[in-house]
Amino acid sequence: MSTVESYTRNTITNKNTLFSPMKSTVETSFYMNNTKHLCSVSQAYELSLLNKGMIVLDREVSHPEELGLPEGAKILVDNGGAVTGRTAAARRIKGDNPNEDKAIEKIARQAIFDNRFRTLYNASAYVGLDKEFMVKAHLNIPEEYVGNLYTWLMNFQACNEAYDELYEKSTHYEKESDIFVYCDPDWQHEDYPNGLAYFDVLHNTAIILGLQYFGELKKGTLTLAWATAERNNYVPCHGGLKIFNREKDSYVASFFGLSGSGKSTLTHAKHEDKYDIKVLHDDAFIIDKKDGSSIALEPAYFDKTNDYAGGHPAQDYFVTIQNIGVVPDEEGKLAIQADDVRNGNGRTIKSRYSTDNRVDRIEEGIDSIFWIIKDNAFPPITKITNSALATAFGLTLMTKRSTAENLVGGQKPGEKLVIEPFANPFRVYPLINDYKNFKSLFDSDVDCYLINTGDFMDQDIPKEVTLSILESIVEGTAEFESFGNLTDLEYIHFDEFDPDFEDSHYTDTLASRIEFRIEYIKEFNEKYPEHAIPEETLDVLSKLVN
């Protein structure tokens, strides 16, 4: 088996490093009399079908048998309330504040105690779709939110005969326990008005309280799985990856960006079927540091419905939908308002069968990493030829927040540029680890590009331009030229997106964006001196400004 689920009696002591107060509190809740274990996806579906807040569409789920659902299973809509995105302000990591850790241990015990007379359901799934990396995960949630449990099972790989057999043959990680997640969306606490998502990372445990948005469960589970992978010689990746099989060889491209940046568009683009393409995933994968191969962590996709409005054919593969308007169509059948009429960030679990060229593992090593940015000081594509500088731009990846996040404190989506290192807001291990991991990839001749999917100096960059750039790189026909007098940077010339180095407004804007990155690193190093980013990063960025 992959991770540890049971213990010999002589190891059940407080000296066992797989145990902790939070792990004990959360896991014990799964065995209470008021908690019922669901053994199959179909059970979760049938219970969700009867849930009072559920909307049952007339449209049937495609490939029900393969997904473990009954024939004729319907697409379900499960809407939330005011909050329709992830709440970063709710996240707490064990070890960041030892005094708060002690307080949260008590809060967790009380939260579970207060639910002792409610019915809860739990189920299990696998994270990681290859025998080299599979982690077993468990979720416990009140019955009123069984729709989120069903969606969780559809997002990850629900336990079934085929995957149980694969799991039995998978690599065993004797120092890693199963993932356990407890969730109560109705919980309230005056000290945590935005909810609480607490992670005991080393013990693969999370408790998510006062947060009903499904993305908290998805990313919470991935947070722990990515951390497990990082501890076991993998590079965690919040991005997409696909392989172009060319006539004599192949080309593996990976895309790193926040939700709404375009990584799914780039990953799933078929390029008018000009190439033989296989897709690994558009959101969550890991890279094996030993041989460079990549493994997908999830079978399904958690997509924005806004990408599939107006009866888009991808709707055929929706399984569950969240935070979306519903109206009758001309035949009186219920149809969704996919383009965010009700609220921003309408979401769907789209099954793997929407991608006919899908694979769960790619043996070939990565050829290129595309950092997807929203920094309008850079043209549509910039190549970075220095490994330290390539890592520095990933470390200071500049983008904008989207409606996928529940921003607190007056922030608004798309309002300002922010830095999100390596496009991964779910990191729960030292940032320096990712720096070293990606620096190692670039040192091993992986190419690096900045791909701007926003605008260049207020000139919007069309998706068609971005895709044509990617094709020219894959085909080896891209013609790069010097990026002004800046060493280690090159770009492709476009008349409408041409940087004017004689224009002081442009050069001042470019310099200010690089200086912003420099200040970010300096502030980080002052705040976390024990995990400081190497000086070489500041050196290569400062060289650009100078």
CB atoms within 10 A of CB 428: 21
d(CA 386, CA 367): 15
d(CA 148, CA 214): 6
* Residue 108 and residue 22 in contact, taking contact as beta carbons nearer than 8 Å: yes
d(CA 216, CA 444): 35
- Of 95, 86, 88, nearest to 203 by C-alpha is 95
d(CA 220, CA 231): 17
d(CA 321, CA 324): 7
Which position has the token pair 């290192």? 421
Nearest-10 crossing angle of helices 504-527, 535-545: 160
For residue 400 the two structure tokens come to 């904008």
- CA 164, 169, 173: angle at the middle one, nearest 5? 100
The residue type found at 150 is Y
* Residue 423 and residue 257 in contact, taking contact as beta carbons nearer than 8 Å: yes
Q: What is the pLDDT of residue 410?
A: 61
Q: What is the pLDDT of residue 405?
A: 63
What residues contact 208, with CB distance under 8 A and at least 6 apart?
181, 182, 183, 184, 195, 196, 197, 198, 216, 217, 220
Burial of 525 (0-12, 13-18, 19+ CB in 10 A): middle
DSSP readout, 286-311? EEETTT--EEES-SSEEEEGGGGTTT
Q: What is the pLDDT of residue 381?
A: 98
Q: Where are the beta strands (DSSP E) in 332-446?
A: 334-337, 347-350, 361-362, 368-373, 381-384, 398-400, 417-419
For residue 292 the two structure tokens come to 């460079």
CA 502 distance to own-chain centroid = 40
For every one of its 546 residues, what pLDDT tens digit does the chain have, with 9 covering 90 and above?
A: 589 999 999 999 999 999 999 999 999 999 999 999 999 999 999 999 999 999 999 999 999 999 999 999 999 999 999 999 999 999 999 999 999 999 999 999 999 999 999 999 999 999 999 999 999 999 999 999 999 999 999 999 999 999 999 999 999 999 999 999 999 999 999 999 999 999 999 999 999 999 999 999 999 999 999 999 999 999 999 999 999 998 889 999 999 998 778 899 999 999 999 999 999 999 999 999 999 999 999 999 999 999 899 889 999 999 999 999 999 999 999 999 999 999 999 999 999 999 999 999 999 999 999 999 999 999 999 999 999 999 999 999 988 765 666 666 665 655 678 899 999 999 999 999 999 999 999 999 999 999 999 999 999 999 999 999 999 999 999 999 999 999 999 999 999 999 999 999 999 999 999 999 999 999 999 999 999 999 999 999 999 988
DSSP readout, 145-210? GHHHHHHHHHHTEE--HHHHHHHHTSPP-TT-BPEEEEEETT---TT-TT-EEEEEGGGTEEEEES
Backbone φ and ψ of 318, nearest 5°: -70, 145
> Residue 63: which region, alpha, beta or left (left: phi > 0; alpha: psi -120 to 50)?
left
Alpha helices in 409-503 (DSSP H): 431-443, 463-475
* Residue 517 and residue 544 in contact, taking contact as beta carbons nearer than 8 Å: no
Burial of 235 (0-12, 13-18, 19+ CB in 10 A): buried
- Of 387, 388, 391, 393, nearest to 372 by C-alpha is 393
Burial of 518 (0-12, 13-18, 19+ CB in 10 A): middle
Q: Which residues pair with 350 in a beta bridge?
A: 301, 318
Q: What is the pLDDT of residue 415?
A: 64
Separation in Å, CA 98 to CA 27, 210, 398, 530 = 21, 22, 31, 17
Length in residues, the chain: 546
CB atoms within 10 A of CB 317: 22
- Of 128, 177, 125, 130, nearest to 151 by C-alpha is 125
Q: What is the DSSP letter of 365?
A: P
The residue type found at 202 is L
